[in-house]
Structure formats: structure tokens, C-alpha cells
Structure 1
Amino acid sequence: MDGQGKTRIGKPVFCRFRDLSREHLNVELQVHTSWTDGQATALEILQTAKQRGLAELAFTEHVREDTSWFPDFKAEILSAARRFDDLRVYVGCETKAIDDNGRLDVSQSVLDACDIVLGVVHRFPDGHGGYLDFKQLSFDETSEIEFRLSMGMIASAPIDVLGHPGGMSLRRHGRFPESYFRALMTATLERGIAIEINSSYLVDMPAFLALCEEVNPFVSIGSDAHKLSELGRCRDQLIELGVGRS
């Protein structure tokens, strides 16, 4: 319930890229707090989001299968959100793929508590309970493994958004194959989930947007904000690039 006795309900509604309006851009759907690796509290984030005129905000904290603090995290978010009736607030998580079959490093209780679930690739499982060493992998190997893990999540994981697609390849090699981006967009569209436009990872935003124009997937807008200064960054970049109908 919010401060007026009204219930905050539902999940974010994603639209397809060509249908984006300026209103659709005015969201921040990947935010991290000091509960994990963010640098601000939920209240500080909400205050800054209001100052920057954002309409929707999703707290998508990093979780693992043994995460036990999520109920307290959610309670803090909902309590802080009661002071901001003009800002639609979602509680969610960011969880990583742990095999090619779409299995996630998250508990069912956390999934049940979320309004939005971002599935991402962070580490590459070695099949024996450990992880591969990024330093030992070529660009082709990195991008191919990341693509397989991503496609597994799209096919069967209980996610709403494929977060920072190609992110590990982009961070380590500065690129990700266009054919893989296109295939990920096509697969998310077929399943009806969103692919994230993430201003923190994309090294060539215009090229990614051109593919979005071509495939027309459902999209989620996220800055992967860990600092107050990053809130609304993706929105602002998209507006600067001319995205969104007036």
C-alpha cells in the first residue's frame, strides 16, 4: 500500500522499440542500492529520481540462490516508496545464468517477491561447479559462450528482461557480434520478454538502436545505475539520439 492507501501493483509494461514515446523513455529499470554494490540508499535514490523527473523506477538488486535478506530489502523499498506517490516503484532482482538451460542463481522465494526479474550473464560456468577464466578466453569463445547462456535464459528462464545483452563481451573485448544481437532480439520478441537498452554496457548505442529498429523487440530502459549521478542516464542518451515519438 502507498501513503494514500492505494496498492502498488503489477509489473512494468514493456513496449516494442518502434512504439517508444518520450513518456516510455522516462523510466529507470535497473538500479542498485547499498544493499549490494550500489553507493546510495533507496531513499536517496528515490529523492534523486523525483528531482530528475523520472516516472518509474525499478530496484533490481543482485541476488544469489542463498540470498536471505531480500524480504528486508523489499520492505525497505516499499516503505521508502510511500513518500513518492508520483513515482511508480518496482521491486526486482538481477540474477545470473548458471547453465545453458536457463537455470538461474536465485531462489523461488525471491522470484515470487519480484515485480521484475532481470536475467544476465556475469560468469561463465565451467560445468564442474566453478567458472571459466575470462583471461583464457578469446573474443570468439567469450561471445559464443555468452550467446549460449543468454539464449538458454530466453528459452526457459522465468525472466522479464534480458539484462545488458552481450555485456561480458562488450566489457572485455569492446564488441559483440551483430548476428548474436539480432538473434537475441528475435528470440526475446518471440517469447514476449524485453531486451535491455543498457547505457552502461553498450559501446555503440546507435548501432544497437539500428538493430532495434530493424527487429522491433520489446525493450527495457536501464542505466545499470550504481551512483546517484547515473540515474536517468539511459533516458537522456536515448532522447539525445532522437529516440521516442513526441
Structure 2
Amino acid sequence: MDGQRKTDAGKPVFARFRDLTREQLNVELQVHTNWTDGQATVLEVLHAADERGLAELAFTEHVREDTSWFPDFKAEILSAARGFDGLRVYVGCETKAMDDNGRLDVSQSVLDACDIVLGVVHRLPDGQGGYLDFKRLSFDETSEIEFRLSMGMIANAPIDVLGHPGGMSLRRHGQFPERYYRTLMTATLERRIAIEINSSYLVDMPAFLALCEEVNPFVSIGSDAHKLNELGRCRDKLLELGVGRS
């Protein structure tokens, strides 16, 4: 398999971990604005990204199956981005897994409008139309369910990136099993999907990067930025840790 994931024009190109250059680290591929739970406007994000020298930026707003505002969101991004010739801008979404088979909480029309789709685990479905209570679940239960949901997306969902892998377990228990990470990385590599290096969720980035070095998956760089001062945070952290060839 070659060093980069080939994509259609206008979509991000994901490198495998060992092939990453410093130039390829200079991206921010998970950003939220005040269209959902972010604090800044689209234009404010673009200005901040430009000031920080980022080369690529993906707006990946939270969506659900009944989201109706996405066409207006995309139109605003495309209009605002015309003033930033040095910044490559993508329109995307972040959508959650609804079952172990990879069903996503997103409409086909939103998927069709996206340059990049992040599939994530945010809630743990109970199989009856509701969600399990995290407070009633042990670490082993939480991580096993999150792993199954993630594998379902990798196998069947139309996603480009597995976003913040292990994120719910990390937020609630501070850890996610290494064996699950290794399996997720191997599975994403086989399907040529990127697995996200997310500076907002990873509590032990060096350990995660060591696994990336071992498995060499395609990777996506994302800070899960909700504030302007978070833009480029993942890039900066990776550079501090010595990731990226000159």
C-alpha cells in the first residue's frame, strides 16, 4: 500500500503515520463553530487559522439525522473561504454511531455535501432507541461497547475518519485498552480510513503515537477545537513530540 490515501479532488489526503512530514502536520481537521457548540464564527475561525499559518482547515460540525441547517452552514463556509487563498478549507461533519452495524446519526444529504466525515462514539445506544447511562457502566463495559461501535463504523459506515477513538472511555475513565487501539488501527488501515490523533481526548499521546508507529495507519490531525485558542493545538503538540519528517 502506498504512502497516501488517494481521494477525490477537494477532499483531504491522509498520510500514513510514518510518512508524515512537518508540512502534512500543518492542518486542523476537527473544528466546531457557533453553528453548534463552538464559540467562534466561521469567519473568526478562518482569520485565526490564517494567522497561525495553518495550510488546511476542516469545519466538522456536529450533525444529526434531522439536521436541516447544513446547506446554509456550507454556503457560509464557501463564501467566507474565498478571502483566504492560502488556506485550503473543507466542509465536513462529525456524526455519532447509532449501533454496532455502523449506522450513523446523519442524513444522506449531509453526507453528500461533505468533503470529510468524522464518525465518532458520543453516546452508547441501549438497542431500544435510547442510551445507556455512563454512570452505571464499568470501565470494561464502557470500553467494550465503544470498541464495538467503532468497529461497526469502520466496517460499514461511509466515514473518512474515526474521530477521537476511545474518547468516551478516556473522558470517563482516563484510559482505553491498548489491544482495542491496535485492532482499530489495523481495521482502519485495511479500509483505508484515517484514525484521528486528537489532542483534546488523548491522555497519553506518546503511547498512542507509539502504536501508530507500530501499525502505521492513515492518520487525521485534529484538536477538536471549540475555541480560537485551540486551533492548531494538535499540530503543535505533535511537533513538540518530534513527529514529522523534514
TM superposition score normalised by structure 2: 0.96
**What is the Cα deviation at residue 10 of structure 1?**
1.5
Distance 1:192 1:79 in 2: 31
Displaced runs of 4+ in structure 1, greater than 3 A?
none
1:236 aligns with 2:241: no
Question: Alignment partner of 1:152: what SS?
Answer: helix
Identity of aligned residues (%): 89
Distance 2:127 2:53 in 1: 45
1:163 aligns with 2:148: no
Distance 2:143 2:127 in 1: 17
Distance 1:34 1:171 in 2: 23
Query: Quick one: which amino acid aligns to residue 157 of structure 1?
Result: A
1:61 maps to what in 2? 61
1:192 maps to what in 2? 192
Matches within 5 A, 1:1-246: 9-246=9-246
Backbone CA RMSD of aligned residues:
0.4
TM superposition score normalised by structure 1: 0.96
Distance 1:17 1:31 in 2: 21
Query: Quick one: which amino acid aligns to residue 140 of structure 1?
Result: D
**What is the Cα deviation at residue 216 of structure 1?**
0.1
Distance 1:97 1:219 in 2: 20
**What is the Cα deviation at residue 215 of structure 1?**
0.1
1:6 maps to what in 2? none
Query: Quick one: which amino acid aligns to residue 182 of structure 1?
Result: R
Question: What per-residue deviation string (whole Å, max 9, x for no partner) do you get for residues 90-128 of structure 1?
Answer: 000000000000000000000000000000000000011
Distance 1:173 1:123 in 2: 15
Question: Alignment partner of 2:189: what SS?
Answer: helix
Task: State how many pairs are aligned.
Answer: 238
Distance 1:120 1:33 in 2: 18
Question: What per-residue deviation string (whole Å, max 9, x for no partner) do you get for residues 44-103 of structure 1?
Answer: 000000000000000000000000000000000001100001100000000000000000
Distance 2:13 2:234 in 1: 17
Where structure 1 has 5 or more consecutive residues not aligned to the other structure, the ranges are 1-8
Question: What per-residue deviation string (whole Å, max 9, x for no partner) do you get for residues 15-36 of structure 1?
Answer: 1000000000000000000000
